[in-house]
Structures are given as C-alpha cells and as structure tokens.
Amino acid sequence: MSFLEILGGLVLLYCFVYIPGAGIYRHFFRKSHDLKARYGAGSWALITGSSDGIGKSFAYKIAQEGFNLFLISRTESKLAAIAKEIEQKYSVKVKYLALDFGKSYEEKFYDVIFKETKDLDISFLINNVGMSARAEDPKDQVKHSLNTVITNCCGQTILQEHFAPIFAKRQNKSGIINVSSVAGGKPISFSPLYSATKGFNDFLSRAAQWDYEGKIDIMSLRPGWVSTNMLNNKKPTGFTIISDDCVEGALKNLGHDEWTNGHWKHALFQFLYFSIPDATFQRMALSFRTKKPKED
C-alpha cells in the first residue's frame, strides 16, 4: 500500500468517522458544566441585545440557572417587561439599561455600563447584540452599513476588553459567549458585510480564549438559521431552529469548546456548507439574493 493510499484512508477516516463521532458525542452524550457552581452562586450575567431572539432566550435560561441579570438592549419597555417576568418566575435580581449599540463607537457610551456594573459580581458576559447588513430602503444603505459595523463589532470588543481582566482575577471561573454566525466561518457572497463582521466576532473570541486559557471560558457561538426577527421569524423547519434550542446547545458546550454551532442541526449544516466547493457555494448564495420574496 502506497503512502498516498494510506494518507487518503486517514483523511476519509477523519472526515467520515472522527468528525461525525465527535459531533455525536459533543451534542448528545457529553455532560454540561454546572455553570452556577463554576462561576459562583449569586453572581451576575450581563447580556446585550437581550429584549428579543437569542439574547432574550439567554436571559430566561440563565435566570433559570440561578444567575442575576444585567440586561442591555434598545427598547426600555421590552426590557422592563422581561425583567418583571423573570424576577417573578425565577426569584433572581434583574437590572437593565436601554442603550442603542449604534452609538457604541463613542467612548462615553460605556460610562454608564461600567458605572452600573462596578459593584456587581459580574461572572458571565454574553455579547449577543447584532444586526443584519442590508437596509430595507437602498437609499439608507450607507448609514445602515456603518451602523452594522459599529453594532456588530464595537460593543463586543470593548465589553470583552473591559470585563476579561476583571474575570481573570475572580476566585471562580467566568464565562464569555460572543455570538458570531456560521456566516463568519466562510465568506458569503449575498451578504459580504454581515459575513465579515461575524468573522470579526469569531476571531476576537477564539484569540482571546488562548489569551485567558484556563482562567475564563470564552466561546464563539456560530449558529445557522434561527427563527428570530433578523430572519423575519422564519418557521422553524429543516435547519431553522428556535432561539431556545440555540441557547441550550451553546450553554451545553460552554467550558468545553472554544467555538460551537450550538445545536446539532447547525453543526451538520456547517459541515455540509463548508464541504461545498467555494465557487459553487458563492454562486448558490448569490441566487438567494436575487430571488424575489414570496407574497403572503
């Protein structure tokens, strides 16, 4: 048997035995950490973009785990309603700030966040806030593109840079989840800007994981399609899942992996998506942009 035949066999074993086997173990058999015990009872979780979608699901799930919450999102009325319901349902403390991350490029934007969290034992940061890159009205595209870069990148950068050194000094471990996207792992032609910002999120997270290895659980969450406002609340069928399932999968992998797709459906989706030759994939992706939306 030649060297190339042996090498080819090993590659096939890796692709079709090891990767599926590791994925099955990770999603169905591996035990998750007790995050309350790991990060400290009575500590706080700070969640951005927490009034809808994935961020809102994180808020409810983490409160259920026993963490107090510090929520940041744009709409105060939504935050107030969520805070009231969570406090009543889970008997935890909830504080919130109504802030627009479209202004997160300004230094003064963070003053109130750092002031309000200074005396709290924050142990868990979830950088979830984000937005799509395409404006509804083409005339607003320049403004929307700038807002996308700012919203998707600035807050995540500054909050991680602020809290990571604090977390590293805590007696208990701490956690950071940076919400990226499967679109951040491979360029997507129908939305280059969104793909680029999600790639930034992923690299920022995975590089920091090495910087704070053994001290902080830092994980990039790279989901696929999730039925949220960003996806026009698409019906959860096929590879589209609900935000609660995305969050449950993410928390299960926290402390084990430096990145995750969250749910097993999205892990399978990424495997298939990355297996398509790039030129073929990019032409397929462009076809989605040119399709006319179906009328209700």
Active-site entry in 39, 60, 96, 194: 194
Question: What's the Cα-to-Cα distance from 15 to each of 19, 22, 23, 41, 271, rounded to whole Å?
Answer: 6, 11, 11, 41, 10
Could you tell me where the beta strands, DSSP code E, fall in the chain? 44-48, 68-73, 94-98, 122-127, 174-179, 216-221, 259-260
| Known catalytic membership, residue 194 | yes
Q: What is the DSSP letter of 44?
A: E
Distance (Å, whole) CA 173 – CA 279: 43
Of 24, 201, 40, 265, nearest to 209 (Cα)? 201
The strand order across the sheet containing 68-73 reads 94-98, 68-73, 44-48, 122-127, 174-179, 216-221, 259-260
Residues forming the active site: 194
